[in-house]
Structure 1
Amino acid sequence: METPQPSPSRMTPFSGHPIVVAVVPHEPELVALTAASWSQAAGGVPVYFAYVDPTRFTVEEHADGTVRHADIDPDAVDDSWLERQEQIEASLTHVLGDSGISWEFRYLAGRPDRALTHLARAVDAAAIVVGTRAPGPGARLREVVEGSIAVQLSHHQHRPVLVVPLSVVDWQTPLWR
């Protein structure tokens, strides 16, 4: 069986279709604000913010994009994910304030590219928004080892991926300083 490829027949119009947005704890507000701006530009489409927890695995996927998940260690009793979920939702509520956009949050598990693709299919999203990896010690190594989620998404599903830069190189400054 041949894998379906991107084509005009598989495009989802921006108008009237939601946007899926990958978020992580303590991420700069620029990702959420960019998604809110795109939502407003597309006529106020809903936005589905999602955090994918790589320390958990998906037990069951539901038609609305939610999942039932469990800890990778079956003997662990770790409910820290509930606290993480509350923290992310509180942060989004603070950042989005009176933006007027309709949004929901999904706590997902497993591989980020797969989980975000499932959510995008479930809600018939027009696009997926992700931020670049935040700078810091080990960020480059993590990207080499784990890969870029934006690149993985662009190779494993047909929706456009909007990448929000969170750190840029100043091309005006010589690299040899």
Structure 2
Amino acid sequence: MDSGATAAIPRRAVIVGAVPGQPPRLLKEAARYAKLFGAPLVVLNVDVMRFVTYEDPDGYVHSTPAELAAASGESELSLVAADAAEILAGSGVDWSVHQLVGDPAFAIKHAAEESDARLIVVGTRKRGLGESIREFFTGSVAARLAHRQHRPILIVPLGEPASDDEELWPES
């Protein structure tokens, strides 16, 4: 396991977008596909509180905090790394954790292009009004990836699915 934002992402990896506290199923499914492909697994966390200001010719990315809470990205990365270590222990897959900054869909797309990723794995959003509002303004990461790049995407349902007659966006 390698953890770091500046380490190069392995070529031809399976990339999984990860946030703290998500259900273990996402990382388990991503590891399963990495194992099937005989590829390394890259657990990718995107710090949305920072944005790219410029990139050096050697690939080093300079970023600026969008808010004063710059340390939140570091703590989020450590939580994702701890989750990955627990969930992927004994999986038999070579894996690493990396953090990028900015818009999640664009960051994942860029990482996939740069590393010639075999597969991108993302989870569905959490259910609830707050997540529905966030998705309304920012859009679905999975949908934005599907329309902006050519790699296969695996979308893993997280949480309990809504029944056929259940309101997807409840008013309360």
Q: What amino acid sits opposite 1:52 in the alignment?
A: V
> Unaligned regions of 5+ residues in structure 1, if any?
1-15
* Counterpart position of 2:125: 133
Length-normalised TM-score, structure 1: 0.79
- Residues 14-25 of structure 1 mapped to structure 2, 5 A cutoff: 17-25=12-20
Greater CA radius of gyration, 1 or 2?
1
Task: Work out the number of aligned pairs and report it.
Answer: 156
* Counterpart position of 1:29: 24
Which deviates more, 96-105 or 56-65? 56-65
Deviation (angstroms), 1:50: 0.8
C-alpha spacing 1:138/1:65, structure 2 compared with 1 (3 Å):
farther
C-alpha spacing 1:58/1:166, structure 2 compared with 1 (3 Å):
same
Identity of aligned residues (%): 34
Residue of 34, 37, 41 corresponding to 1:47: 41
C-alpha spacing 1:67/1:114, structure 2 compared with 1 (3 Å):
same
* Counterpart position of 1:148: 140
* Counterpart position of 1:5: none
> Unaligned regions of 5+ residues in structure 2, if any?
1-10, 168-172
Which deviates more, 20-29 or 138-147? 138-147
- Detail structure 1 runs of 4+ shifted over 6 Å in the superposition: 62-66
Deviation (angstroms), 1:60: 4.3
C-alpha spacing 1:115/1:65, structure 2 compared with 1 (3 Å):
farther
Deviation (angstroms), 1:52: 1.1
CA distance, structure 2, for counterparts of residue 104 and residue 64 of structure 1: 21
Deviations 1:57-78 (A, max 9, x none): 12345799874433124xx373
- Residues 67-106 of structure 1 mapped to structure 2, 5 A cutoff: 67-73=61-67, 76=68, 78-106=70-98
Length-normalised TM-score, structure 2: 0.81
C-alpha contact (below 8 Å) 2:49/2:70 kept by paired residues: no
SS in structure 2 of the partner of residue 138 of structure 1: helix
* Counterpart position of 2:170: none
CA distance, structure 2, for counterparts of residue 125 and residue 133 of structure 1: 23
Root mean square deviation, CA, Å: 2.3
